[in-house]
Structures are given as structure tokens and as C-alpha cells.
Amino acid sequence: MVKIAASILSADFTQLGDDVTRVEAGGADIIHIDVMDGHFVPNLGIGPMIIKTLRTQTKLPFGVHLMVEEPHRFIQPYVESGANFLVPHVEAFHGLYSTLQTIKTSGEKSGVALNPATPLTQITELLPMIDIILIMTVEPGFGGQSFIPQMLTKIASARKLIDTSGYRIELAVDGGINAQTAPLAVEAGADLLIMGSAIFGDRRIEDNIKMIRQLVS
């Protein structure tokens, strides 16, 4: 079954707790949290203090997308604040293997994210260590961008890579996923849809989640 993650980057931060409650009521599977350091991507956010506060608000797992340089520095604070999946970028830091080991040692799930221009060959050796492959379907850093159609081929290749590897790895897509692109991504092999503006944009949070759920099931 396809999972839906709500990216709170597009939530209303004046009522973040309520938005997260509504996401859970709408039937989403994961809260997606974008961490940005102003270096790896131009944008900034979302710190561990906010995650810790939200942890009291929902039982849904927290997926933390680490769009930061030197992601190893951020594993401990985010695990302590309640992260359940930690997903650094392959482009960010040469010590990725040990970063993934640190995540595993913490007992949480680990993944790797790839920018649109990064080939899948970069992660072949990492497959035994990861629970998630996250394909960026826009350039990372901002919500509300358009899905890059060429990424459908990459999603299909990642699907093949996972299936032939024999490992149980979820295939996530992040960026520009909406009612038009979600079915295409799922058809190409994605089984975890990360969505920001398509869920929060018009504030019909519960309805949007249910609508996408119907579309892809």
C-alpha cells in the first residue's frame, strides 16, 4: 500500500499543532519534516525544538529530511527530539556511510535522498544500510515547485534497483507531488508520497489527503 507523508513546510506555522492533528485525522502515515541549513539549500528550518514540541501532538512517525551539510552533526539532536526516520542527502557529506551507521545505532530508520541530477549509482553500496530511498522530484529547498517529469524514469530505475536487491526499502518521492503527478509516480514505482502544498495549500487538509489516497489505491 502506498504511504502518504505530509510535509509541514507548507503548513500554517501559526497553528502548526492543529495542522498536524488534522493531518493525522485525514489518514496520512507520516509527518515529513524538512531540515535546512542555509548552505546545502538556501532556505532555513525546521529545528529540533519544534519537533520536540510536535511530538506531544501526534502519534504519527516523524520523517526527517536532512537538507544540510555535515548531516552527522544533526543525528543526535533530531533523534532526541523524536525523529523516527532520518534521511540525509548523498551529496552533502563524504562520511555518509558512518552517518548511516550512527542512525542505525540510534535505533531509528535511515534513508538517503538524491537531488534530481544525482545518479542512482551513488547509492548502490548503501542498500544494505537503508530503509528508504528518497528521490527529489524538484531541486531541494522550497515547497510549491513543479515536478520534474524526467524523474519518472529515475523512479522506475530505483524501483528496479530495490526489487532486484532483495532488500526491503521504501521508495519515496518529494517535490511537486499532487493529484496529477502522484498517480504517475506510483505507476513508476514510488510507494511513499511526500506532499506539502498539495495537502496544505488550500487548507482542505483532511480532504486533500483522502483524495490522494483514493487516487493511488
The residues annotated with a catalytic role in the active site are 34, 174
Q: If you ran DSSP here, which 8-state letter would residue 202 be given?
A: T
Site residues for Zn ion, window 74-133 (CB under 5 A)?
A: none
Q: Does 48 bind ligand DX5 (CB under 6 A)?
A: no
Residue 120: how many CB atoms within 10 A of its CB?
Answer: 15
31 forms beta bridges with 6, 62
Site residues for ligand DX5, window 7-26 (CB under 6 A)?
A: 7, 9-10
Number of residues that bind ligand DX5 (CB under 6 A): 22
For the record, the C-alpha cell of 130 comes out as 537503508
Closest CA to 69 of 99, 87, 91: 91
For the record, the C-alpha cell of 217 comes out as 489505491
Pairing assessment for the beta strands 85-88 and 62-67 based on DSSP bridges: parallel
x/- letters, 144..183, toward ligand DX5 (CB under 6 A): xx----------------------------xxxx------
Q: Does 118 bind ligand DX5 (CB under 6 A)?
A: no
Nearer to ligand DX5, 65 or 154 (CB): 65
Among 19, 24, 34, 170, binds Zn ion (CB under 5 A): 34
Cα gap 150→120, rounded to integer Å: 14
- SS3 category, 48: helix
Torsion over CA: 59, 72, 39, 191 (sign): negative
Closest CA to 193 of 2, 10, 23: 2
Q: The cell 490522494 sits on which residue?
A: 212
Nearer to Zn ion, 171 or 214 (CB): 171
Q: Does 174 bind Zn ion (CB under 5 A)?
A: yes
CB 65, min distance to ligand DX5, A: 5
Choices 44-52, 155-163, 193-201, 207-215; region in contact with ligand DX5 by CB under 6 A: 193-201
Residues that bind ligand DX5 (CB under 6 A): 7, 9-10, 32, 34, 65, 138, 140-145, 174-177, 194-198
- List contacts with Zn ion (CB under 5 A): 34, 65, 174
